[in-house]
Amino acid sequence: MKKLLPLLFLLALPAQADVRHSIKSSATITLDPAYSSATRIGSTYSVSGSNVTPSKTISGTTTSGAIGGLNIGSVTAGVPAFIDTDFTVTTAGSAFSAVESLIQGDAVQSATTVSSGVVGSLPSLGTTVTGSGGVTGGTITSLTSGVHTCGGTMGAGSSCTATSIIETLVD
C-alpha cells in the first residue's frame, strides 16, 4: 500500500491546459469605378504602282511626278485633309498597276463622362474599352452572433464580402 501511495498522489493532481479563444469578424463593400479608355487611330496614306506616272492637283495647279498625301496644313478636329494622287499610264499598251490606300484617322471627340456609375455616351474611336461601375446603396447588417448579411442595391462592379472566424485553441 505504501508503494501505491505516491502513485495515488500523481493521479489526484489537477490537469493544466492553456485555452485561447478569439473571434475575428470583418465585412467590406467594394465599388469599382466606371471607366472608359479610348485610343484614336491616326491617318495614313500610301501609294505604289508600276508603269504609271503620278500627279497631284492643289488649287488648280497640277504637278506631274508628285504624289498626294495628308495635308497637315489643313487639319479639322485633329484629322488632316487628304490630297488625292492621279495616275496616267506611262507606256501605253503595256501592263500597269496602281494602288492607293487611305486610312482616315479619328476626329477628336468630347470627353466621356461618368454619372452614377454609368458611362452615358461611349466614344466611337479605333480602340475603346469601357467598364461599368458599381452602384451605391449596398448595406451590411452585422448581428451580435457574428453573422453578417449583405443587401441593398448592388449592380455590376459592386461586391460585398463578410467573414466571421471563431477559434478556440486548447494546448
- Give the model's confidence band at 164: pLDDT under 50 very low, under 70 low, under 90 confident, else very high: confident
What tens digit of pLDDT does each residue of 18-73 get?
A: 888 887 878 888 887 777 778 888 899 999 999 999 999 988 899 999 998 888 88
At residue 15, does pLDDT exceed 80?
no
Please tell me the distance from the alpha carbon of residue 139 to that of residue 55, in angstroms, as a whole number.
Answer: 70
Please tell me the distance from the alpha carbon of residue 62 to that of residue 87, in angstroms, as a whole number.
Answer: 12
Q: If you ran DSSP here, which 8-state letter would residue 22 be given?
A: E
At residue 9, does pLDDT exceed 70?
no
pLDDT at 11: 60
Please tell me the distance from the alpha carbon of residue 5 to that of residue 3, in angstroms, as a whole number.
Answer: 6
pLDDT at 63: 92
Grid coordinates representing 78 are: 485633329
Closest CA to 32 of 115, 117, 149, 123: 117
pLDDT at 54: 94
Task: Name which residue leads in pLDDT, 150 or 2.
Answer: 150
| Amino acid found at 121 | S
- Map grid coordinates 461599368 to a residue: 132
| Amino acid found at 27 | A
Taken in order 139, 143, 144, 148, the sign of the CA dihedral is negative
pLDDT at 150: 84
pLDDT at 13: 58
What tens digit of pLDDT does each residue of 67-123 get?
A: 988 888 899 888 899 998 999 999 999 999 999 999 998 888 777 776 666 667 777
Residues 129-155: what's their mean pLDDT? 77
pLDDT at 117: 61
pLDDT at 91: 94
Please tell me the distance from the alpha carbon of residue 162 to that of residue 164, in angstroms, as a whole number.
Answer: 7
Q: What is the pTM of this model?
A: 0.52
Q: If you ran DSSP here, which 8-state letter would residue 133 be given?
A: P
Report the alpha-carbon angle 88-93-99, nearest 5: 40
Beta-bridged to residue 131, according to DSSP, are 35
